[in-house]
Amino acid sequence: MQYTENGMPKKNPLSAQIDLSKFSTDDFAPATDEEKAQQEVMGESVTFFKDGCRRLSKNKLAMASLIVLVLLLISILVLPAFIPYSYSGINTVGGKRDKTATNMAPFTYSKMEQQYMEQTGEKLFPHVMGTDSLGRDYFVRVIYGTRVSLAVGLVASIMVLIIGLLYGSISAWCGGIVDIIMMRIVDIIYSLPDMLMIILLSVVLNERLGAIIDGVPALKLIGSNMIALFLVFGLLYWVGMARLVRGQILGIKQNEYVLAARTIGTPGGRILRKHILPNCLSVIIITTALQIPSAIFTESYLSFLGLGVKAPMPSLGSLANEAREGLTSYPYKLVFPALVICIIVLAFNLLGDGLRDAFDPKLKR
């Protein structure tokens, strides 16, 4: 092989290779570390969910809200085991009813409790948030009220997710006359005044379900009011989820990979489960997270009007309604449940915004 003066091999006239004689040895020097780093354009391979969780962890407000919700959940589950009072039990001292323990301020003792501690030398558990007009510990009632409100929000969001996801998926996938009819039903439900229908349905369902629920011990513990609330959310609140899911599927099912799956004979149900719904995951997660505070606020509103959970079981809304009567004398009774409602709703809203920023592909950059 012949070489040039630069030490580079000469090109054969009939060869299709690059003429190396036009280059020097310096042109083929090893790449520097900076040049190698510029070529590393491929990042770590991660799943959609893992990538979303990673970006969510960088959102300080969302993570702070998540921590607050976790601490709140642990508190309402663990604290009742360490407090010697019940949400429905009237305060007693030495087995006797304490009539002096009504409407007490936070961290105070009644006269009977003070006398009992002086005589026995035993330290009683303080009333952290005082007592109500019947002498029941207010702290325990707020804890159980938070349980009820969170349970209503979670159950309502799950019902909305299931009904809206199924309805929207069927409507978008079938298309044609089926889609038109199903969407007109959604439009009719949307045209109804929300609060008026919720109040009317709560009253009607509560009356109709009373006789049925009394015969079932498991449902009797929940109460007809709670069952009526769940049915109201299931009947009215799913339409927003259904519309969002339908819009997403209508856009996704026109993609090439869906056409390819159809071409090879993949059943429609499998295409929905494996190819379409995973691409709607961001919208589903965000809408479900934002549905929880909406349901909690609605339950609190209905309980405030006396249409929520049945006494003596408390909810945050019913506690606020009871506190309204003595607002001028005992304003702190309204502050405690209202503050918990604000914390829960704000935390879920901030977490929902963080989930939207983390899982929405359009906001990825």
Q: For 106-143, how does the pLDDT look when each residue is reduced to its tens digit (9 = 90+)?
A: 988 988 999 889 888 888 899 999 999 888 999 999 99
333 domain residue, yes or no:
yes
Indicate whether 4 pLDDT > 90. no
253 domain residue, yes or no:
yes
The model's pLDDT over 243-292, given as tens digits with 9 standing for 90+, comes to: 999 998 998 888 888 888 888 888 888 888 888 888 888 788 888 888 88
Indicate whether 200 pLDDT > 70. yes
99 domain residue, yes or no:
no
Indicate whether 365 pLDDT > 70. no
216 domain residue, yes or no:
yes
Give the predicted TM-score (pTM) of the model: 0.78
Q: What pLDDT sits at residue 363? A: 61
Higher pLDDT, 296 or 77: 77
Q: What pLDDT sits at residue 315? A: 86
149 domain residue, yes or no:
yes
Indicate whether 176 pLDDT > 80. yes
Q: Which residues form the domain of 318?
A: 49-80+136-363
pLDDT tier at 237 (50, 70, 90 boundaries)? confident
168 domain residue, yes or no:
yes
75 domain residue, yes or no:
yes
**Number of structural domains in the chain:** 1
- Give me the CATH number covering residue 180: 1.10.3720.10
Q: What 3 state SS string does the chain have?
A: CCECCCCCECCCCCCCCCCHHHCCHHHHCCCCHHHHHHHCCCCCCCCHHHHHHHHHHCCHHHHHHHHHHHHHHHHHHHHHHCCCCCCCCCCEECCEECCCCCCCCCCECCHHHHHHHHHHCCCCCCECCCECCCCCEHHHHHHHHHHHHHHHHHHHHHHHHHHHHHHHHHHHHHCHHHHHHHHHHHHHHHHCCHHHHHHHHHHHHHHHHHHHHHCCHHHHHHCHHHHHHHHHHHHHCCHHHHHHHHHHHHHHCCCHHHHHHHHCCCCHHHHHHHHHHHHHHHHHHHHHHHHHHHHHHHHHHHHHCCCCCCCCCCCHHHHHHHHHHCCCCCCHHHHHHHHHHHHHHHHHHHHHHHHHHHHCHHHCC
Q: What pLDDT sits at residue 163? A: 92
97 domain residue, yes or no:
no
Q: What pLDDT sits at residue 17? A: 63
